[in-house]
A = this chain, B = another copy of it.
Amino acid sequence: MAVVSEMHKEEHLGSSVFITDIVIGMSDGLTVPFALAAGLSGAVQSNTVVITAGIAEIVAGSIAMGLGGYLAGKTAQEHFQSELKREYNEVESLPDKEKEEVKLVFEQYGLSETLQDNIADELAKDKDKWVDFMMKFELGLEKPDANRARNSAATIGISYIIGGLIPLTAYFFTKTPFEGLIISTLLTVICLFLFGYFKSKITGQPPVKGAVKVTLIGVTAAAAAFLVAKLFNNLI
C-alpha cells in the first residue's frame, strides 16, 4: 500500500495538480452560471440581461473562489507556523509532558507501556523529528505549500471563468432566452458529463458515477433556479 499510495501521490503531483485545479474550477464554473442563466431565461425577455447577469456572476464567483481560496491558504499557513512554534516551545520547556503525549498516541493502538516509553525516548533524541511527529500524528497538520495554494487559487479562478463562459455562449448566438436555454442546456450537460468524468478519474473515483453526479448537480440547480425565478416573476 505504501508503494501504491506513494506512486499515486507522485503521479498526482507530477502530472495533474494543475489539471485537477482546471477540472475542478471548470466543472464548478459550468454549474452556477449555467443555472443562473437558465433561471433568468424563464423570467426575462432579453438575452442581453441573461448574459450580463451571467458575466457578473462569473466575475463574482471567480473572485470569491480564487481570492477566498488564496486567503484560506494563507490562513492555513499561518496556523501551521504558529502551531509549529508552539510545539517547539513545548518540546523545549515541557519535554516530559510532550513524551506523555507521544505515549498517548500509541496507547490507543494497544501498544505496551514499555514500547510506548521506548518510542518516546528515541523520538526525543532529535527535536526536529519529534516536532514533525507531533505536528502530524498528534495535531494532524501537514505543512501547507504557499506557492501551490496561490497557484491553485489562480488556476481554479481562471478555470471557473472559462467554465462559466461555456453555458453563456448559447445566449450570444440565439434570439430569445428560450432558444438560448435549449442550446445552453445541451452544451452544458455534455461538458458537465465530460468534466465530471475527468474530475473523477483524476481524483480516483469511479468515473461514470462521478460524471452522473456532477451532471445531476448542475441540472438540478438549473431546474430549481428556473422554477423559482419563474414563480417569483409570476407573483410580482
List B contacts of A218 (CB < 8 A): 64
Given contacts A52-B229, A53-B40, A64-B31, is CB(A109)–CB(B138) below 8 Å? no
How many copies of this chain does one complex carry? 2
Q: Are A52 and B40 in contact (CB under 8 A)?
A: yes
Q: Are A132 and B109 in contact (CB under 8 A)?
A: yes
Asked whether A32 is an interface residue with its Cβ less than 8 Å from the other chain, the reply is yes
List B contacts of A140 (CB < 8 A): 142
List B contacts of A228 (CB < 8 A): 55-56, 59
List B contacts of A15 (CB < 8 A): none
Q: Are B60 and A1 in contact (CB under 8 A)?
A: no
Chain A interface mostly helix, strand, loop or mixed?
A: helix
Selected A-B contacts with CB under 8 Å, 13 pairs: A28-B64, A35-B56, A35-B63, A35-B64, A36-B53, A38-B56, A57-B225, A59-B224, A60-B224, A64-B218, A67-B217, A75-B210, A110-B126
Q: Which 10 A-B pairs have the closest CB atoms?
A: A39-B56, A35-B60, A63-B221, A2-B101, A56-B225, A53-B53, A56-B229, A60-B225, A59-B225, A60-B221
Residues of A in contact with B (beta carbons under 8 Å apart):
1-2, 5, 28, 31-32, 35-36, 38-40, 43-44, 48-49, 51-53, 55-57, 59-61, 63-64, 67-68, 71, 75, 79, 86-87, 90, 98, 100-101, 104, 106, 109-112, 115, 118-119, 122-123, 125-126, 129-130, 132-134, 137-140, 142, 204-205, 210, 213, 216-218, 220-222, 224-226, 228-229, 232-233, 236
